[in-house]
Chain A
Amino acid sequence: MRLLSRVAERLYWMARYLERAEDTARLLRSHTHLIMDIPSGSEPSWEVLLQTLDAEEGFSRNHRVANETNVLRFLMADLENLSSIARSIQAARENVRTTRDVLPAEVWEHVNELYHYSREHSASSVGRRNRHRFLEQVIGRCQMINGLIMTTLCRDHTNRFVRIGHLLERADMTTRVLDVGIGTLMNEERNPSTTDPLVWASVLSSLSALETYRRTVGPLVEGAEAVDFIFRDGTLPRSLKFCLNGIREELAPMQNNTAAMKVIDRARRSLSRFDPHKAGRLDMHRFIDKFQANLLALGTEINVAWFLTEQA
Chain B
Amino acid sequence: MKSSWNTYDTGPFFDELITPAGTPRVAARRAVNLFKEMTNEEMNARRSAAELAIIDMGISFTVYSEGENIDRAWPFDMIPRIITGKDWAKVSRGLAQRTRALNAFIDDIYNQQRILKDGIVPAETVLESGNYKAQCAGMSPRYGAWAHICGTDLVRDKDGRFYVLEDNLRVPSGVSYMLENREITKRVLPELFENYSVQPVDDYPSRLFSTLASLSPRDRRRPCVVVLTPGIYNSAYFEHSFLARGMGAELVEGSDMFVDDDDCLYMRTVDGPERVDVVYRRIDDDFLDPEVFREDSTLGVPGIMRAWKAGNVAIANAPGSGVADDKVVYAFVPDMIRYYLNEKPAIRSVKTYLCMIEKDREYVLNNLEKLVVKPANESGGYGLMVGPHSTSKQRDKFSRLIQENPRNYIAQPTLSLSTAPTYIGDTVAPRHLDLRPFILSGKETWVTPGGLTRVALVEGSLVVNSSQGGGSKDTWIVEGSR
Contacts and interface: CB of A to CB of B under 8 A. Distances in A.
A309 B268 contact: yes
A5 B270 contact: yes
Q: How large is the interface on A (under 10, 10 to 19, 20 to 34, 35 or more residues)?
A: 20 to 34
Contact of A255 (B231, B266, B272): B272
B299 to A, nearest CB: 14
Interface string B231-269: 110000000010011000011110110101000001111
B426 interface: no
Given A101-B241, A101-B251, A312-B258, A2 B268 contact: no
B380 interface: no
B138 interface: no
Contacts of A101: 241, 244-245, 251
B159 interface: no
Given A101-B241, A101-B244, A312-B260, A5 B232 contact: no
Contact of A2 (B232, B251, B271): B271
Given A2-B250, A6-B255, A311 B241 contact: no
A242 interface: no
B270 A6 contact: no
B20 interface: no
Interface string A145-171: 000000000000100010000000000
Given A4-B269, A255-B272, A97 B252 contact: no
Majority SS of interface residues in chain A?
A: helix
Given A101-B251, A312-B258, A4 B268 contact: yes
B122 interface: no
Contacts of B270: 3-5, 8, 157, 161, 254, 306
Nearest to A94: B232
Contact of B256 (A4, A109, A254, A306): A4
B274 interface: yes
Nearest to A98: B232
B258 A5 contact: no
Majority SS of interface residues in chain B?
A: mixed
Given A101-B241, A101-B244, A5 B260 contact: no
B244 A5 contact: no
A35 B271 CA distance: 49
Contact of B273 (A6, A98, A312): A312
B272 A311 contact: yes
Contact of A6 (B58, B256, B266): B256
Interface in A1-46: 2-6, 8
23 contacts: A2-B271, A2-B274, A3-B270, A3-B271, A4-B256, A4-B270, A5-B256, A5-B268, A5-B269, A6-B255, A6-B268, A97-B232, A100-B241, A100-B245, A101-B244, A101-B251, A109-B58, A157-B270, A255-B271, A256-B272, A306-B270, A311-B272, A311-B273
Interface of A: 2-6, 8, 97-98, 100-101, 105, 108-109, 157, 161, 254-256, 306, 309, 311-312
Given A5-B268, A309-B255, 17 more contacts: A2-B269, A3-B269, A3-B271, A4-B250, A4-B256, A4-B267, A4-B268, A4-B269, A4-B270, A5-B256, A6-B255, A100-B245, A108-B58, A109-B58, A157-B270, A311-B268, A311-B272
